[in-house]
Amino acid sequence: MYYGLDIGGTKIALGVFDGERRLQWQTRVPTPRDDYEAFLEAVCGLVAQADRRFGVHGSVGIGVPGIPETADGTLYAANLPAASGRPLRADLCARLEREVRLDNDATCFALSEAWDDEFRQYPLVMGLILGTGVGGGLVLNGRPVAGRSSVTGEFGHTRLPVDALTLMGFDFPLRRCGCGQLGCIENYLSGGGFAWLWQHDYHQPLQAREIFARWEQGDKKARAHVERYLDLLAVCLGNILTIVGPDLVAIGGGLSNFAPLAAGLSERLPRYLLPAARVPRIERARHGDAGGMRGAAFLHLTD
């Protein structure tokens, strides 16, 4: 059995998958915030429950919101203060007496989509998350591409290209990102960025869901806003696709729930790619909130 744990700032979710990659059981517990020992016990307790329930010692894969293992063997995850700076993988391997694999949660999302029955035909899969932030991951022939520092897929921290400034105006504000840089595309393409663009253009605060509701009602401002957002997304994604050249882009995160997103993006991309380039297949993620658990579990399918 394959155990996948999706660890976030508020909850640790466990999913147990069989050899056919089908979910057999899931549960969750709160994430301890300040006590590393309690954090380890929470993870080990979930694994012990699964072992007893299925009568096996299942494999353990974990997705975390950060860098799973830095050069000194410790976790870096600002949203997991109890475990950040600790040798999480080594400590869990010792306690659970089995190999534990850790990876970034966005990479786990991409891996989950790449191992979908329909999507397994594609050699190079790019996961793109448009949610609280902008992130993702790359999966080549069923295996995640981590890169030297485990930051491959941090698409949100690329900068606005010149085509974006041509589109939006060269006086367009370069916002300061949480990473410290100016002009990271996360500030414009995330759910919060989508709302910021509305306020920037119309001087009225609205959340993304409210703008989409207006779009569905035919509101002209909302329609124009979505068009501008899709143009900006296509500009920024065009550079990334030129570098990566994926066969499939699976889009997740809250903005992916807006159904016209994938179709609108596919229509716009050709003008921002090389003439000989083909637009990859672009689809909404198939597995939603379960993607983190699935991808973490499937870290053990990548041998």
| Residue 177 assigned ligand-binding role | yes
- Do 251 and 130 contact (CB within 8 A), yes or no? yes
Same domain, 132 and 279: yes
Same domain, 90 and 126: no
Residue 260, pLDDT score: 85
Residue 178, pLDDT score: 86
| Residue 240 assigned ligand-binding role | no
The count of structural domains within the chain is 2
Same domain, 99 and 143: no
In whole angstroms, what is the distance from residue 185 CA to residue 52 CA? 46
| Residue 221 assigned ligand-binding role | no
Same domain, 186 and 263: yes
| Residue 44 assigned ligand-binding role | no
Residue 26, pLDDT score: 96
Same domain, 266 and 127: yes
Same domain, 90 and 37: yes
| Residue 179 assigned ligand-binding role | yes
In whole angstroms, what is the distance from residue 23 CA to residue 276 CA? 41
| Residue 135 assigned ligand-binding role | yes
Query: Count of H helices and E strands in the chain?
Result: 10, 10
pLDDT in tens, the chain (303 residues): 999 999 998 999 999 999 999 999 999 999 999 999 999 999 999 999 999 999 999 999 999 998 999 989 999 998 899 999 999 999 999 999 999 999 999 999 999 999 999 999 999 999 999 998 899 999 999 999 988 777 888 899 999 999 999 999 999 999 999 889 999 999 999 999 999 999 999 999 999 999 999 999 999 999 999 999 999 999 999 999 999 999 999 999 999 988 888 888 999 999 999 999 999 999 999 998 788 999 999 999 876
| Beta-bridge mates of residue 154 | none
Same domain, 148 and 19: no
| Residue 139 assigned ligand-binding role | yes
Residue 107, pLDDT score: 93
Closest CA to 115 of 136, 140, 151: 140
In whole angstroms, what is the distance from residue 271 CA to residue 234 CA? 9
| Residue 43 assigned ligand-binding role | no
Residue 151, pLDDT score: 82
Q: How many CA atoms lie within 13 A of 220 on its CB side?
A: 0
| Beta-bridge mates of residue 28 | 13
pTM of the complete model: 0.91
| Residue 225 assigned ligand-binding role | no
Same domain, 195 and 245: yes
Q: Please report, in angstroms and rounded to a whole number, the separation of the first and last CA atoms in the chain.
A: 16
| Residue 147 assigned ligand-binding role | no
Where does 48-92 show beta strands of DSSP type E?
59-64
Q: Which residue do the tokens 């041509």 mark? A: 166
> Tens digit of pLDDT for each residue in 167-181?
999 999 999 998 899
| Residue 5 assigned ligand-binding role | yes
| Residue 200 assigned ligand-binding role | no
Same domain, 71 and 196: no
Same domain, 140 and 259: yes
| Residue 133 assigned ligand-binding role | yes
Host domain of residue 29: 2-110+289-299
Same domain, 123 and 230: yes
Where does the chain show beta strands of DSSP type E?
2-7, 11-17, 23-30, 59-64, 100-104, 124-130, 134-140, 143-144, 248-252, 281-284
| Residue 117 assigned ligand-binding role | no
Q: Which residue do the tokens 């119309």 mark? A: 202
Residue 47, pLDDT score: 98
Residue 132, pLDDT score: 87
3-class DSSP state for residue 137?
Answer: strand
Same domain, 152 and 267: yes
Phi, psi (degrees; rounded to nearest 5) at 290: -80, -10
- Do 281 and 99 contact (CB within 8 A), yes or no? no
Residue 56, pLDDT score: 96
Residue 303, pLDDT score: 67
Q: Residue 268 maps to which CATH number?
A: 3.30.420.40
Closest CA to 296 of 72, 47, 119, 124: 47
In whole angstroms, what is the distance from residue 164 CA to residue 121 CA? 33
3-class DSSP state for residue 195?
Answer: helix
